[in-house]
Structure 1
Amino acid sequence: MSVTATEVSQPPKRRFRISFGWQILIAIALAIPLGLIGRAMGPTEEGPNWLVFTLQTIGDTFVTLLQVAVPPLVFLAIVTSIANLRKVTNAARLAWQTLLWFCITALISVGLALGLGLLTNPGLHTSVTEEQAAAPSSSGSWLDFLNNLVPANVLGLSADSSLEVAPDGTNTVSTGLEFNVLQIVILAIVVGIAALKVGAKAEPFLAFTESALEIVQKILWWVILLIPVGTLGLLGYRVADYGWDAISALGVFTLTLYVGLALVLFGLYPALLRLHGLSPLRYFAKAWPAIQVAFVSQSSVGTLPITQRVTERGLGVPREYASFAVPFGATTKMDGCAAVFPALSAIFIAQFYGIQLGITDYLLIVFVSVIGSAATAGITGATVMLTLTLSTLGLPLEGVGLLAAVGPILDMGRTAVNVAGQALVPVIVAKREGILDLDRYNAERGADTLDDEPAEGTEPEGDRVLATVGGGSGDAPGGPAEPAPGDATAERKD
């Protein structure tokens, strides 16, 4: 049979587009000079100048959009994942493995921080004075963990009111709603288990949650497309607002902290990946959008939707497991805020006040760093973790004020390491349990991350993949599950 020229289909021409990674790099390149210009312009009588105000508005709006997606995403994803785990008998093993590796990475991270602190002695090389010492308004306690496990309401929301006094004497009361991710996780787990116990009558509800999750993820995709614009606003405002003036008095401490964070991010994490036969370069290529947004936004919770997306679609962790591990990690997995920072800060404050730390004190620092993040779950923050560490050691809480001047600058690096760890542990656990999609993990960066929206049907087959946990499928340990017929993972949708 002859084929005419008109019957031969021509391959479609690929339209020119800038990749997502380059869009972010361009945003960073524009944000730094814009921030410097805004800082040079100085404030006006009414407040920040128009450029700084614009950058701040863009950045705050982007973070708000991400945070709006967190409660429905976490709730729907966990309920759906529990429903999909009905045929899996090793879900409890995944949970314990996740907690174990949270502790392992925290233990190594705090060990690195203690070594650096004893090497550099940051408290002996500073020009801050005791007049700058001040106790924080909030602190952590070991009872917070139990209190935060119990949801205050069915939505896990709480109201926060504040009184603002204007220069003309006018009082304004503002009230904002805040959500507790840990409480939402607990609620979703309870609802998911209850739905399974109800049986067939809960099928319409489970079908609804699965459909609602797809809608939320579609909306989230639209928000993710704004990452370059959000990066421009967030980073530009950081440069304009903070500058680097405050670093001079705490230069040794700031440098030591960032060296410690770099050792964890670019030393410890790649070593663990290599130990499990995974490419660190692939990990950073896929996880970098979440790490970068965490750096400029200073919010693990705000970055959570992006972290979960890259963990599932880029790094090959099954959705049913990632839906639990990533949100849980956003509240309890903080190598930057709960390990490196409190350890170095405790050494700094002890040296500043001339207090000698003994071996027992260092062991307490390790204990608080490994276990203490759970005690502050739901009210996470570097200051809360630091106060928990200081109170456990009996060090003066007023020492927190000594570090306040460089807090925002430090928080950028701390949050980036937090988010990197929240994506790393699910990858390690999935690899150890033989459920990691290695084809997806090792694929070139593209449709599997944030460059393009994956085509329908490219999601990992959760039940099929997770059924291999603990063996029984015949796959080699850590190997990918048998591809489902018609799997289109490698396809790219332009």
Structure 2
Amino acid sequence: MSATSPARRAKAPDTRSPLRKVLTSFGFQIVVALILGIALGLLARSLGASATNHTPLSDTLATIGTSYVTLLRAAVVPLIFTAIVASISNLRRVQNAARLAGQTILWFAITAFIAVSIGIVLGLVIQPGSRAGTDLKPGDPYTVGTWWNFLIGLIPQNFLGLQVTSAADPASGAITSTVGFNVLQVIVVAAAVGIAALKAGRKAEPFLVFTESLLKVIQRVLWWIIRIAPLGTLGLIGSAVVTYGWERLTSLAWFAGAIYIGLALVLFVVYPIILKSNRLSVRQYFSGAWPAIQLGFVSRSSIGTLPLTQRVTERNLGVPRGYASFAVPLGATTKMDGCAAIYPAVAAIFVAQFYGIQLEWWQYLMIIVVSVVGSAATAGTTGAIVMLTLTLSTLGLPLEGVGLLLAIDPILDMGRTAVNVAGQALVPTIVSQRERILDADLYNAPRDGQPFAEDLDDDRDDDLASREARSLATVSLQEGDLERASEEDAALTR
């Protein structure tokens, strides 16, 4: 596969005025939605809205935000399943498929190691636990992560990893059920189906063709959902301001500051250094990945942002579709430099300092090991909280310390998720560059503010189809040569 794609169809010249280009820019629309959301949230609070006191404006913001996240989550399961099955079928045509997977996992570990090291240094330098407010009250975590639960969670409970949770209302006795899914189980099932389809050979071709067609339909639906992201952003950020406000940062200001300093160092220092060391433009990376980073910040969900992350990785950063559809969903469940590296490192040190516990050198080493190895334990659960309880239980620190931090967790989760999403787009880009399969023309192309325009989708599909046609022709010729050679050997034997 070449580093650059074939010549694309000439597109009609862009005749939009400069003002219209700005107004129709996806990034500009997201920024405007952020500002309006904050303003409407503050307005709702000034009118008496809070986490316990609802008003029409606050309810409207909450409904808009939750409805958009629900739409994104609804598309995740079919996207992951079809994308992984299709990507496995595509990877069979790439000679270095195993190397791509190995390089992906290696870079996941490298960046996680750097992030957790930064978290440990910040925890020791800033001492957030020693500076915490006196009004903090320990509490029980609402979920606990363990290594055993992680291993059990790998076993699919059903075909699509769906989970049904029922609860009874103490007052009315009514039973309500909610349906969720374990993303890691979905990946396990999809990988098994994809590998089985490859083993089945030609008899599975109709299934693979159907899966690729279904993936194309799902991606088009996702394009429609992504187009209304500014509206969802407005509701999400406005509802967050109403529910949590900014005053909760008072007693945990040093802790929150340490987290955000660490996130900023990883996002704006570590990632650019990695890009530069691989001869990639930092500006082009951020301009390409920024729509997904912005949506991750306001949605607080790597899984909910997955459709957009995958699209910017392919459309803006030039990562081949077959590889991106494998690496990005995997990264959305296991590549979490914010939730699984910086946050548990700083939080574990915070808990130890708050309770006056002196950590030994080997415990700091365990923080690094748990962050690098155990980030997959956050898949399909409550993210950073599970990772933190896993870290505390491994170190023998009191789990009640998690309750100290729950008050401001949503505010921290915004920054954590933004860094998670940035890393999930970074690693496939780096690996593609190192393996010389990155579409350099697409990566360095000017951003026109319409990264999800349908004509771009069609052009990329045409390019991919032409490359696959040539690959299939080569494979067919090779298979024909092998069959003829086998027949000649059999004739000689007879």
Range into which the TM-score falls when normalised by the shorter chain: 0.7 to 0.9
Deviation at 1:191, TM superposition (A): 1.1
Deviation at 1:198, TM superposition (A): 1.5
Deviation at 1:394, TM superposition (A): 0.5
Partner residue in 2 for 1:483: none
SS at match of 1:136: coil
Amino acid at match of 1:359: W
Deviation at 1:359, TM superposition (A): 0.7
Residues 233 and 88 from structure 1, CA distance in 2 versus in 1: closer, same or farther, beyond 3 angstroms?
Answer: same
- Equivalences for 1:3-18 in 2 at 5 Å? 14=16, 16=20, 18=23
Deviation at 1:375, TM superposition (A): 3.5
- Equivalences for 1:226-375 in 2 at 5 Å? 226-375=228-377
Tell me how far apart the structure 2 counterparts of residues 341 and 45 of structure 1 sit (CA, whole Å): 25
Alignment of 1:440 with 2:442, yes or no, is: yes
- Alpha-carbon displacement from aligned partner over 1:60-101 (angstroms, at most 9, x marks no partner): 111111111111111111111111222223211111111111
SS at match of 1:261: helix
- Alpha-carbon displacement from aligned partner over 1:142-170 (angstroms, at most 9, x marks no partner): 123321221110111011122334xxx32
2:152 to 142, 147, 150: 147
Tell me how far apart the structure 1 counterparts of residues 315 and 215 of structure 2 sit (CA, whole Å): 15
Alignment of 1:163 with 2:165, yes or no, is: no
- Alpha-carbon displacement from aligned partner over 1:414-441 (angstroms, at most 9, x marks no partner): 1111111111111111111111111111
- Alpha-carbon displacement from aligned partner over 1:85-131 (angstroms, at most 9, x marks no partner): 2222321111111111111001000111111111110011111446x
Q: 1:123, 1:348 within 8 Å by CA — same for their partners in 2?
A: yes
1:51 to 52, 57, 67: 57
Deviation at 1:51, TM superposition (A): 0.5
Partner residue in 2 for 1:410: 412
Q: 2:27, 2:449 within 8 Å by CA — same for their partners in 1?
A: no
Question: Which has the bigger relative contact order, CA under 8 A and spacing at least 6?
Answer: 2
Tell me how far apart the structure 2 counterparts of residues 453 and 171 of structure 1 sit (CA, whole Å): 53
Tell me how far apart the structure 1 counterparts of residues 82 and 196 of structure 2 sit (CA, whole Å): 14
SS at match of 1:134: coil
Deviation at 1:11, TM superposition (A): 7.4
Amino acid at match of 2:104: T
Partner residue in 2 for 1:461: 464
Deviation at 1:25, TM superposition (A): 1.8
Q: 1:82, 1:192 within 8 Å by CA — same for their partners in 2?
A: yes
Tell me how far apart the structure 1 counterparts of residues 64 and 169 of structure 2 sit (CA, whole Å): 23
Residues 46 and 89 from structure 1, CA distance in 2 versus in 1: closer, same or farther, beyond 3 angstroms?
Answer: closer
Q: 1:313, 1:448 within 8 Å by CA — same for their partners in 2?
A: no
Alignment of 1:216 with 2:213, yes or no, is: no
1:39 to 29, 41, 45: 45
Deviation at 1:379, TM superposition (A): 2.8
Q: 1:20, 1:451 within 8 Å by CA — same for their partners in 2?
A: no
Q: 1:59, 1:233 within 8 Å by CA — same for their partners in 2?
A: yes
Residues 11 and 278 from structure 1, CA distance in 2 versus in 1: closer, same or farther, beyond 3 angstroms?
Answer: closer
Partner residue in 2 for 1:205: 207
Partner residue in 2 for 1:80: 86
SS at match of 2:251: helix
Once the two structures are overlaid, the 10-residue window that deviates more, 88-97 or 291-300, is 88-97
Amino acid at match of 1:40: S
2:140 to 135, 141, 160: 135
Q: What is the root-mean-square deviation of aligned Cα atoms in Å?
A: 2.2
Tell me how far apart the structure 2 counterparts of residues 12 and 405 of structure 1 sit (CA, whole Å): 48
Amino acid at match of 1:81: S
SS at match of 1:160: strand
2:197 to 195, 202, 207: 195
* More helix per residue: 2
Deviation at 1:31, TM superposition (A): 1.1
Q: 2:128, 2:254 within 8 Å by CA — same for their partners in 1?
A: yes
TM-score by length of 1: 0.88
Tell me how far apart the structure 1 counterparts of residues 470 and 237 of structure 2 sit (CA, whole Å): 43
Q: 2:289, 2:425 within 8 Å by CA — same for their partners in 1?
A: yes
Tell me how far apart the structure 2 counterparts of residues 12 and 264 of structure 1 sit (CA, whole Å): 36
Partner residue in 1 for 2:185: 183
Tell me how far apart the structure 2 counterparts of residues 193 and 78 of structure 1 sit (CA, whole Å): 10
Partner residue in 1 for 2:389: 387
Query: Percent identical across equivalent pairs?
Result: 56
Partner residue in 1 for 2:123: 117
Q: 2:339, 2:420 within 8 Å by CA — same for their partners in 1?
A: yes
SS at match of 2:166: strand
- Alpha-carbon displacement from aligned partner over 1:211-245 (angstroms, at most 9, x marks no partner): 11111111110000101101111111111211111
Partner residue in 2 for 1:6: none
Amino acid at match of 1:461: L
Once the two structures are overlaid, the 10-residue window that deviates more, 210-219 or 455-464, is 455-464
Tell me how far apart the structure 2 counterparts of residues 390 and 185 of structure 1 sit (CA, whole Å): 28
SS at match of 1:161: strand
Tell me how far apart the structure 2 counterparts of residues 75 and 195 of structure 1 sit (CA, whole Å): 13
Amino acid at match of 1:191: V
Partner residue in 2 for 1:94: 100
Alignment of 1:108 with 2:111, yes or no, is: no
Residues 85 and 466 from structure 1, CA distance in 2 versus in 1: closer, same or farther, beyond 3 angstroms?
Answer: farther
Q: 2:256, 2:412 within 8 Å by CA — same for their partners in 1?
A: yes
- Alpha-carbon displacement from aligned partner over 1:264-301 (angstroms, at most 9, x marks no partner): 11111111001100111111111111111111111111
Partner residue in 2 for 1:486: none
**Gaps in structure 2 of 5+ consecutive residues:** 1-11, 472-494
Amino acid at match of 1:145: F
**Gaps in structure 1 of 5+ consecutive residues:** 1-9, 469-494
Amino acid at match of 1:305: P
Tell me how far apart the structure 1 counterparts of residues 59 and 455 of structure 2 sit (CA, whole Å): 32
Residues 359 and 43 from structure 1, CA distance in 2 versus in 1: closer, same or farther, beyond 3 angstroms?
Answer: same
Tell me how far apart the structure 1 counterparts of residues 42 and 361 of structure 2 sit (CA, whole Å): 46
Residues 398 and 36 from structure 1, CA distance in 2 versus in 1: closer, same or farther, beyond 3 angstroms?
Answer: same
Q: 1:88, 1:466 within 8 Å by CA — same for their partners in 2?
A: no
Q: 1:313, 1:440 within 8 Å by CA — same for their partners in 2?
A: yes
Partner residue in 2 for 1:22: 28
Tell me how far apart the structure 1 counterparts of residues 227 and 139 of structure 2 sit (CA, whole Å): 41
TM-score by length of 2: 0.88
Amino acid at match of 2:155: V
